[in-house]
Amino acid sequence: MTGNPFRPTFGASPLKWAGRNAVLDDFRAGLNGGVGNPNRAMLISGHRGMGKTVLLTELEDIAAQQGWVIIRVSGRSDAIKELVESIIPSKIQELTSPSTRRIKEIRIAGVGGIGTEETSVPPVPTLESKLRELSGHLHESGILITMDEVQDADPSDLERIAVAFQHLVRDEFTVAIVMAGLTAGVDQLLHLPGTTFLRRARRFRLGPVNSTATLAAFTDTSALTHIHFDADAAVTASNASHGYPFLIQLIGYLAWKSAATANHAVITTSTVKDIIPEAVSMMGEQVHDPAVRALTPRQMDYLYALARVADNAGEALSRAVAEELESSTTSTSEVRARLLEQGLIDAPRHGTVALGLPYLREYLSSGGEQTLVD
């Protein structure tokens, strides 16, 4: 290929995968393993930019390549209504001809005419009945249901989806389900009534991609083109990305673009170092800024305090953050809990908090300023 092979766009699948092979392999095994295979029900969690949506898309592609029908819904929507009234009917329409009608009346000039009526009044559809109807039109394939942003879903919708899924499995229908969402939000969701099904699903928490896979992402992706990373540059880029999937694509994109602009066939360490400030700035614009936009003043104050007292690894004692705010850990516990739900901070150990996103400290230190254009 001749264009930039890196794709720092949310939801766009990378040309070369970095890690996540355990999920992909288990999912393939689930599709091939028959009804009841535990890998046909998965719950994927991770922080922003960890590649949840991209992974979900890849799993959909794997299933589609095997002839499965993909039913995609967002946790931020009226899930049941969309599934029953729009998404599933559209899939059925793709697979079938218009509904069968019978002749009711014939009228020809001077004789009569032809009229039609529905053969029966259809019952009120449910999620389960629509899935059964869709399944009836499939041959040697199945239905994959996917839900992104599951942490925002109505628990009652999840319960109804779970019940329908379990009934179909019990009746030997070929179905699978994969849901994805923010780590803390998913953890909280699992404790709510009606989400027992999610607790039984295979769970995968997406962390940073390991160094070997990150390094390979830079070298293998650039190798698809006439511009490639040299060994030292790939290590520098890998370290700067912190194994964060979005940053891998962003740093790769900017470094490749810089080399191409300069008509260089090799991306050097100098090239990578030169584009890091732009990568950090774009990370702030595309990840940090949307993540903090809806935070309350107290939540922002907590983040600023953590950024000030955290060590080089971005960690600090919860007590130290509270003291920086001239407060107590009890008084700040609710704010801390909300930030954990948002994936903006982590709790790596008891009594410890950490900034949850790479370069979040730099973003906070800059005051969240965006790039000015002349």
CATH of the domain at 359: 1.10.10.10
- Name which residue leads in pLDDT, 374 or 275: 275
Confidence label for 101 from pLDDT (cuts 50, 70 and 90): very low
Give yes or no: residues 155 and 264 share one domain.
Answer: no
pLDDT score of 211 more than 60: yes
Residue 184 counted as domain residue: yes
> 145, 176, 206 — which closes off a domain?
206
**Which of 180, 175, 124 shows the shortest CA–CA distance to 152?**
180
Give yes or no: residues 64 and 146 share one domain.
Answer: yes
**What does the alpha-carbon distance between residue 259 and residue 154 come to, in Å, rounded to a whole number?**
47
- Name which residue leads in pLDDT, 249 or 49: 249
Give yes or no: residues 150 and 69 share one domain.
Answer: yes
**What does the alpha-carbon distance between residue 235 and residue 215 come to, in Å, rounded to a whole number?**
6
Give yes or no: residues 49 and 178 share one domain.
Answer: yes
Give yes or no: residues 139 and 188 share one domain.
Answer: yes
> 272, 291, 310 — which closes off a domain?
291
**Which of 204, 186, 179, 196 shows the shortest CA–CA distance to 25?**
204
Residue 101 counted as domain residue: no
Mean pLDDT of 166-188: 90
Can you give the CATH number for the domain in which 87 is found?
Answer: 3.40.50.300
176 is in which domain, residue-wise? 21-92+126-206
Summary mean pLDDT of the chain: 89
Give yes or no: residues 272 and 177 share one domain.
Answer: no
Residue 14 counted as domain residue: no
Give yes or no: residues 37 and 172 share one domain.
Answer: yes
> 247, 271, 291 — which closes off a domain?
291
Give yes or no: residues 299 and 343 share one domain.
Answer: yes
Pairing of strands 143-148, 69-74: parallel
Confidence label for 142 from pLDDT (cuts 50, 70 and 90): very high
Phi, psi (5° rounding) for residue 87?
-65, -55
- Name which residue leads in pLDDT, 371 or 126: 126
pTM of the predicted model as reported, rounded to 2 decimal places: 0.81
Only one residue has tokens 């629509």, namely 130
Mean pLDDT of 116-133: 76
Question: For the chain, what is the radius of gyration of the CA atoms?
Answer: 25
Residue 175 counted as domain residue: yes
Summarised one tens digit per residue, pLDDT across range 298-355 is 999 999 999 999 999 899 999 999 999 999 999 999 999 999 878 899 999 999 999 9
